[in-house]
Amino acid sequence: MKKKIIIVSGDPNSINSEIISKCWKKLNKSLKKRIFIISNYRLLKQQFNKLGFSNKIEKVKDFNEIGKSENLKIIDIKLNFKNEFNVPKIASSKFVIESLNLAHKLALRDDVCGLINCAISKNLLNKNKIGVTEYLANKCKLNNSSEVMLIRNKSFSVSPITTHINIRDVSRKIKKINIINKVKTINNWFKKKMNKKPKIAILGLNPHNAEYRKDSEEKKIIIPSINELKKLKINIQGPLASDTIFMKDFKNFDVVIGMYHDQVLTPFKSLFKFDAINVTLGLKYLRVSPDHGVAINLIKRNKANSLSLLKCVNFINEFGK
């Protein structure tokens, strides 16, 4: 029997209900039967009505079986609100955390092939404003050298060594063990899931790689890490200059690894727009999310693009456990 797919509806104040509805229309019947959405039934119903969407939704009574219904199957999480597109922060935070906790619990089951979370504002998770990547890694009891954020499409991927931290903190967070462990995780995942040995490029931290000064991160941390990885027969080159690689040289690699979030995500999104998904490697289950935010400026305008969510569903269906 085909395994279930979980979608977390995410931030109540977002475009998430719109992209769920648009994505649903493009799915085949067999996929619809296997998808369960963790959300609030009343919220989703009212948001659909406001947007003029006619999706039929129903509450899930038993998660243990795949039903015959092609309706949106909602695992109902409590949420107090008056305005369906202006839910208070405290209520939103509680709702999001309860949704992720349940998704984590269900994703560990053998009859679930993975989970997708729609966009969530980081300020809803805790005072440190961590992302979902770090939140689920903590739930899986992983340290920050074990989980990997991989932004990918069928032709290319990027990954940052550090994720959702301030620029001023990047330098001290770059450590040899983190680089080595994350590259090994990426390499192993490509070999296992994609049946290929990936060509990996790793970038320096500083402009022009700090001209390879003796006291630079390139000389002290990044180059020694690359040398260790080469000894493990990993196909890796670097450190390469981040200001030129995305002009054309990136096409020679399967993955480009940067030292911080925007170093690789900004050029990737500029090149591929919505043709991308966010995959977390190293968890106890497969987790992906659309590669965009809550898009407050697009709420209720019916202009959101559902392509990334659709690609998430297809990816989980193909590569889930």
Same-domain check for residues 192 and 258: yes
Residue 125: its H or E element: none
The answer to whether 308 and 25 have CB atoms below 8 angstroms apart is no
Same-domain check for residues 153 and 137: no
pLDDT of residue 145: 63
Same-domain check for residues 183 and 242: yes
Same-domain check for residues 152 and 109: no
Same-domain check for residues 5 and 74: yes
Same-domain check for residues 266 and 293: no
pLDDT of residue 1: 55
Residue 88 lies in domain: 1-142+283-321
pLDDT of residue 31: 92
Same-domain check for residues 60 and 176: no
The answer to whether 256 and 250 have CB atoms below 8 angstroms apart is yes
pLDDT of residue 24: 96
54/57 Cα distance (integer angstroms): 9
Domain end (from 245, 264, 279) = 279
Same-domain check for residues 121 and 18: yes
What percent of the chain shows pLDDT beyond 90?
Answer: 82
Same-domain check for residues 37 and 109: yes
Residue ranges of the chain with pLDDT lower than 50? Answer: none
pLDDT of residue 277: 94
Burial 138-167, CB ≥16 within 10 A → b, else e: ebbebebbbbbbbbbbeebbbbbbbbbbee
Instruction: Tell me how many degrees the CA angle 271-181-246 measures, rounded to the nearest 5.
Output: 20
Which residue type, as a one-letter code, is found at position 146? S
Same-domain check for residues 215 and 130: no
Segment 252-270, tens digit of pLDDT: 999 999 999 999 999 999 9
- The CATH number of residue 226's host domain is 3.40.718.10
Which residue type, as a one-letter code, is found at position 167? I
Q: Is 273 helix (H, G, I), strand (E, B) or coil?
A: coil
CA 212 to mean position of chain CA atoms: 33
pLDDT of residue 103: 97
Same-domain check for residues 249 and 312: no
pLDDT of residue 134: 84
The answer to whether 159 and 265 have CB atoms below 8 angstroms apart is no
